[in-house]
Amino acid sequence: MRLHPTVNLGILKFLGFEQIFKNSLTTLPIGGAKGGSDFDPKGKSDREVMAFCQSFMTELHKYIGADIDVPAGDIGTGAREIGYLFGQYKRLTNRFEGVLTGKGLEWGGSLARTEATGYGLLYLVNALLKDHADDLAGKTVVVSGAGNVATYAVEKAQQLGAKVVTVSDSTGWIYDPAGIDVALLKEVKEVRRERLTAYAAERDSAEYHEGRGVWAVKADVALPCATQNELTLDDAKQLVTNGVKVVAEGANMPTTLDATKYLQENGVLFVPGKAANAGGVAVSALEMSQNSERLSWTFEEVDGQLKQIMETIYDNIATTAKEFGAEDDFVVGANIAGFLKVAKAVEAQGVC
């Protein structure tokens, strides 16, 4: 569920279409959908956000359920919004069930759900590099975005030995050659909900720049984690010039089609979002499983399953690409693997 001023029916249709095939790649028994509103939580008080979420759920609750559709967070829909939405659903239906994921730990949420998309992205990237006799240790990484996906992509990349030197938001970007300070980033963006200018003001090694510019920084790995169509052909040319080896999508379709083709034609290992950012929805499904069992798994249990799922996704798309004569074309691998699973299910159920 996305809450952002750019939301319109066309965007939700293409995101929903993509979500179906992404979810099929997770190996978990879930379909896919997308919803949202052009309401912008930024700059609103908690009271204003709560009033909107309650009104939104008053209309939505008739169409969702633990075994029907289960919304999860996306751009603009974080723990605060999920809480307000879930509270209103519970009031309206008098049911406590796993109808939303990304819930608070005290009321049905899953450990590792917050970290899942960012962590999963890096588990897949590391699997890709290992398959090519390499790993993340010592690599320089550029990341766009400063929300949930970007923050935990930065955290996991640095845990795996890489140095992440950029993050960005809607007004500007940070270059921090010493490596992004994850604790400070979380404080600025998650706690204080401030712009990245606040990060630069408190970090001597950081430079703040207005506008766009993340992709101009020399790096080995690029992770677009902000929004759709953020990495253009000109950006792709700059990345190739700077020697980037891997581009993996943390956001939903952040790379334009011409940029994708250019990266692939120039030997960059490119992984589309339907595979690379499937970690979030995978742990959403694991949260649904915990809700059904009325159990809570440990962080290590959930994180271990996430890692296994992402490595399985990589193996699946790499194997499928090779089978169809397109080795290392992970767009082909992800598209065909996802489509075939959905097509076989549709055919088997007699609804084609």
> Contact at 8 Å (CB) between 187 and 262?
no
Say how far apart CA 271 and CA 289 lie, in whole Å: 28
> Contact at 8 Å (CB) between 245 and 273?
no
Residue 117 labeled ligand binder: yes
Residue 284 labeled ligand binder: yes
> Contact at 8 Å (CB) between 270 and 263?
yes
Say how far apart CA 267 and CA 297 lie, in whole Å: 41
Using alpha carbons only, how large is the chain's radius of gyration in Å? 20
Burial of 344 (0-12, 13-18, 19+ CB in 10 A): exposed
Cβ-proximal residues to 67 (8 Å cutoff; 6+ apart), any chain = none
Residue 172 labeled ligand binder: no
Burial of 169 (0-12, 13-18, 19+ CB in 10 A): buried
> Contact at 8 Å (CB) between 161 and 126?
no
Residue 109 labeled ligand binder: no
> Could you tell me if residue 294 is left (phi over 0), alpha (psi between -120 and 50 degrees) or otherwise beta?
left
The torsion defined by the Cα of 44, 48, 53 and 56, in degrees rounded to 10, comes to -110
> Catalytic amino acids?
34
Binding-site residues for NAD(+) sit at 117, 148
Binding-site residues sit at 19, 22, 73, 117, 148, 284
Binding-site residues for substrate sit at 19, 22, 73, 284
